Structure 1
Amino acid sequence: MREVCFVLTPGFLLLDLAGPAEAFRIANQFGAEFALRYLGVGDSVTSSLGLPLGGLEPLPDTLADGTLLVIPGVTGSAEAYDSDAARQLARWLATHVDPSRHLLATVCSGALLAARAGLLAGRDCTTHHVHLEHLRQFDASAKVRENRVFVEDGAVFSSAGVTAGIDLALHLIARLASPALARDVARHMVVYFRRSPQDPELSPWLSHRNHLHPAVHRAQDLIAGEPEQAWSVETLAEAVHVSPRHLARLFRQHAGVSVHDYQQQIRLARARQWLAAGLSREKAALSAGFSSARQLGRAERHGA
């Protein structure tokens, strides 16, 4: 059993809490063992939506080894962290959280509270793009990374915000339980792809997805699931039960790109992941479905 403690500041963003917390709760349904706790100054706190949350536990005197601390963001951010409650939380974090014994995860502007507690000093980290400069001001020694969904530095994890908190929770579930279990949770939550720390905040895995056509989504799922496969329009059309001509038209109408261009974008994103993992250009290209490193280079030059 691993404890997951959510540290809540007045004005906390409800989705920053609910998204990751639901991911861990669903993980328990699939066999994980996470004990969720909710900590704060006082026994209740009001969210960014004005909805109060009661039954909070007081800040504990000790934390078990291996405890994961999660800090959701707040509305108002920089100003909100000047409140008495936020300063008290920062002092508690500074004296009770030890990255050699505990894990720390921040969602959105929660990174600012971690920085105030000195927990991001000298570390790679990120936050929501509108708060990047605030984070640098809170701790000039922090190595703030832009355009990242989330960043991992040892036992400290930080995410860009809102839905990125779910991506980070899934990443942590994969690390602390298993990748297969994390995939089950992602599927249950209808998350199309579990992004990695190397993916930019505006991930290509989520591009061209702002539509509601089920056949196009199913085709995109197939391509994203196995981009290295030679997905022809005919093969995809048969799998999603429409004609090839109809699928090609639907893809352009709803996704805004052709089937071929979409697959090239996904393959390029996969190749970049393999390159970040240390594979050579030739192996990364082949693993992503390109015929060679030269074809990968052409895709890069054409911005696919």
Structure 2
Amino acid sequence: MTLVVLLLVPGLHLLDLAGPAQVFSTAADLGLGYRLHYTAEQEDVPTAQGLPVRASLDWPELTPDDLLIVPGWRAPTLHGHGPLDPATLRRLTEHHAAGGTVASVCAGADALGRAGLLDGRRCTTHHHVQDELARRHPAAHVVRDVLYVEDDRVITSAGIASGIDLALHLIAVRHGPGAAARIARAMVVYARRNGDEQQASAMLRHRAHLSDAVHRVQDLIDTRFADRLSLADLAAAAGVSERTLTRRFTDATGLTPLRYQQLLRTERADHLIGRGATVEAAARAVGFQDARMLRRLRARN
């Protein structure tokens, strides 16, 4: 069971909180083993939208597999907003030092900066406060105009709805693109938001286009990436000919449908290998009959 701890700060934006919370709540409904915990320095936390929320004053015991997320708050400027005690900031630092993942949405990146977690790392935040974040934390490398950035288990997102993209990315990395696609469909959101080349998820990296036919095919491949999918079946799902699908898919993504599926398989296999699986076991898990093709694709990438 993975614990997702959301640290609530006065003035928080409801969607900064609700977006990631909904992703992991839906993941729990699908049996992926998540439990949410809301903590704060005060029980009743006012929000930017006027609806107060209640949180626990207690911190649960965390393991390296658990996630700690700081949703953002209303901040025309970062200075003087988002108050957090030094003891709370130490919680962020200690979780990361123990091997855990720490994430933020929007202005929450400033809390990570005050905890020292942005020093020497790439990060991002809402475009309205990017310049100020860079001034306040000069040792950080602020990446502008992207949805989220991951650097050594520190993940920051641009703000508001991009918290959903951040959470879907974490699901895709931990459980594969099919799981992230199922959650996106359950939430009635498109898993098609783009970021920059540092995004680990191929599913999100190749969604920066407006072709509905190609998105439908990607939805199918995302869900069944470990299956053998014929071009004819994919074309039927898109309602176009095989030749038209290949042309439109390549124009939209720079890849053929087969190459896109291979990227998803290789990415998932790399994650399994990083968690201790053998190359042979990872190859079978993602749909290859043996490890030879996986080895060739990993060398190619």
Whether these two folds match at TM > 0.5 is yes
Find the counterpart in structure 1 of residue 110 from structure 2.
112
Q: Tell me: CA distance 1:199–1:138, structure 2 relative to 1, closer, same or farther (3 Å).
A: same
CA contact (8 A) 1:40 1:89 kept: no
Following TM superposition, by how much is the alpha carbon of 1:88 offset from its aligned partner in structure 2, in angstroms? 2.6
CA shift digits 1:225-246 (9 cap, x unpaired): 669x9989xx95x6466x99xx
Gapped regions of structure 2 (runs ≥ 5): 223-228, 268-296
Secondary structure, counterpart of 2:84 in structure 1: helix
User: For the residues of structure 1 that align with 2:20 and 2:110, how far apart are their CA atoms?
Assistant: 18
Find the counterpart in structure 2 of residue 265 from structure 1.
252
With normalisation by structure 2, the TM-score equals 0.68
CA contact (8 A) 1:149 1:200 kept: no
CA contact (8 A) 2:207 2:253 kept: yes
CA contact (8 A) 1:147 1:200 kept: no
107-116 or 96-105: bigger deviation:
96-105
Matching of residues 31-70 of structure 1 within 5 Å: 31-54=31-54, 56-60=55-59, 63-70=62-69
Find the counterpart in structure 1 of residue 22 from structure 2.
22
Secondary structure, counterpart of 1:97 in structure 2: helix
Aligned residue pairs: how many? 248
User: For the residues of structure 1 that align with 2:19 and 2:197, how far apart are their CA atoms?
Assistant: 19
Q: 183, 186, 190: which one pairs with 2:184?
A: 186
Secondary structure, counterpart of 1:82 in structure 2: coil
Following TM superposition, by how much is the alpha carbon of 1:192 offset from its aligned partner in structure 2, in angstroms? 2.5
Find the counterpart in structure 1 of residue 144 from structure 2.
146
CA contact (8 A) 1:149 1:196 kept: yes
Q: Tell me: CA distance 1:231–1:96, structure 2 relative to 1, closer, same or farther (3 Å).
A: closer
Matching of residues 173-252 of structure 1 within 5 Å: 173-193=171-191, 195=193, 198=196, 205-208=207-210, 217-218=212-213, 220-222=215-217, 239=237
CA shift digits 1:104-125 (9 cap, x unpaired): 0111121112112212111111
Secondary structure, counterpart of 1:186 in structure 2: helix
User: For the residues of structure 1 that align with 2:125 and 2:205, how far apart are their CA atoms?
Assistant: 16
Find the counterpart in structure 2 of residue 88 from structure 1.
84
User: For the residues of structure 2 that align with 1:223 and 1:231, how far apart are their CA atoms?
Assistant: 12
Q: Tell me: CA distance 1:132–1:175, structure 2 relative to 1, closer, same or farther (3 Å).
A: same
Find the counterpart in structure 2 of residue 296 from structure 1.
none
Following TM superposition, by how much is the alpha carbon of 1:160 offset from its aligned partner in structure 2, in angstroms? 1.4
Q: Report the aligned-residue RMSD.
A: 3.8
CA contact (8 A) 1:94 1:118 kept: no
CA shift digits 1:137-156 (9 cap, x unpaired): 12100011123221111111
CA contact (8 A) 2:92 2:112 kept: no
With normalisation by structure 1, the TM-score equals 0.67
User: For the residues of structure 2 that align with 1:220 and 1:176, how far apart are their CA atoms?
Assistant: 22
Find the counterpart in structure 2 of residue 294 from structure 1.
none
Following TM superposition, by how much is the alpha carbon of 1:174 offset from its aligned partner in structure 2, in angstroms? 2.7
Name the amino acid aligned to 1:267.
G
CA shift digits 1:189-233 (9 cap, x unpaired): 233325576359997725437xxxxxxx35542267669x9989x
Name the amino acid aligned to 1:183.
A
Q: Tell me: CA distance 1:120–1:200, structure 2 relative to 1, closer, same or farther (3 Å).
A: closer
Find the counterpart in structure 2 of residue 72 from structure 1.
71
Q: Tell me: CA distance 1:68–1:28, structure 2 relative to 1, closer, same or farther (3 Å).
A: same
Percent of paired sites with the same residue: 32
Find the counterpart in structure 1 of residue 278 from structure 2.
none
Find the counterpart in structure 2 of residue 100 from structure 1.
97
Following TM superposition, by how much is the alpha carbon of 1:267 offset from its aligned partner in structure 2, in angstroms? 2.1
Following TM superposition, by how much is the alpha carbon of 1:178 offset from its aligned partner in structure 2, in angstroms? 4.1
Q: Tell me: CA distance 1:178–1:230, structure 2 relative to 1, closer, same or farther (3 Å).
A: closer
Following TM superposition, by how much is the alpha carbon of 1:23 offset from its aligned partner in structure 2, in angstroms? 0.5
Q: 106, 120, 123: which one pairs with 1:122?
A: 120
